[in-house]
Amino acid sequence: MAIQINGLSASRAGRLILHPTDLTLPVGGRIGLVGPSGSGKSTLCHALVDHLLAESIAVAHVPQSPDEALDPLRRLEFHWRQAERALGLSHDRERQRTLLAALGLDGRPLNVRPWEWSRGMQQRFVIALALLAPLELLILDEPTSALDPIIAAATLDLVDDHIANTDTTLLIVTHDLGLAATRAERLMVLSEGRIIEDAATEDLLSAPATAVTQSLVAHRNWAELPC
């Protein structure tokens, strides 16, 4: 069983940003989508979300910055209720409590505006919203870039724990191969709107086939640099 998409493509202003792409995302898999800035990662995410929603597949996309997801003028409680309504759920205090606790946000009142929380907490709140209903696919777009390392690692661990016993597939989108390699069992490399490699993480790291992937592997973490 897998989420199967054929010929996914996207263009902007008449220019093809994502060339027709076939994707197979195994149920419960942990997949990394990596590529340099401008390779089309976010475009692929948006096209994927549109496509899956049209097919009535439960998908949630957590953007890079919580600012993109939260209205600064609305209280967090409003965002929560709005998400419940959008998903056709009635308000359930117990579910809210459990989910917020799973992301380390238990006991915090929601009658505040987003900016009254730290960015790390906002990001985790957005992830909690994404996890409100059972998901077939959770997309985390650059999940660590807005966060300090401790919060970033803890957040990814919390998400991992929460979806561990479900069928949710996780797609981590990042320019940082080091991050993807520690969190995904399979990696797809996007370059100039095309998936140029798709392999098990270990295989891709040990034998990158293309120049783009070789460069990503060579710059995978800092300590390997001859400094």
The least CB distance from residue 153 to another protein, in Å, is 4
179 near another protein (CB under 8 A): yes
Nearest-approach distance from CB 203 to another protein, in angstroms: 17
Residue with tokens 């098990």: 200
Give the shortest CB-20-to-another protein separation in angstroms: 25
Structure tokens at 2: 């897998």
CB neighbour burial string for 148-159, b if at least 16 within 10 angstroms, e if fewer = eeebbebbbebb
Q: Does 103 bind another protein (CB under 8 A)?
A: no
Q: Is 127 one of the binding residues for another protein (CB under 8 A)?
A: no
Nearer to another protein, 9 or 215 (CB): 215
Q: Nearest Cα to 156, choosing from 107, 122, 188, 123?
A: 123
C-beta of 169 vs 213, nearer to another protein:
213
40 binds another protein (CB under 8 A): no
Give the pair of three-digit tokens for residue 68.
Answer: 């993109």
Examine residue 144 and tell whether it contacts another protein (CB under 8 A).
yes
Q: Which of 176, 186, 189, 195 binds another protein (CB under 8 A)?
A: 176
Pick from 23, 59, 151, 171 the residue near another protein by CB under 8 A. 151
SS3 content of the chain, % helix, strand, coil (to 5): 40, 25, 35
Task: Identify which of residues 210 and 221 has a Cβ nearer to another protein in the complex.
Answer: 221
Q: Which residues pair with 3 in a beta bridge?
A: 25
Q: Between helices 119-130 and 149-163, what is the axis angle to 10°?
A: 10
154 touching another protein, by CB under 8 A: yes
Between CA 198 and CA 32 the distance in angstroms is 10
| Segment (H or E) for 198 | strand 194-200
177 part of the interface to another protein, by CB under 8 A: yes
Measured distance CA(202)–CA(186) in Å, rounded? 8
Report the nearest approach of another protein to the CB of residue 155 (Å). Answer: 10
Site residues for another protein per CB under 8 A? 36-37, 118-120, 144-145, 148-154, 156-157, 175-183, 215-216, 219-225, 227
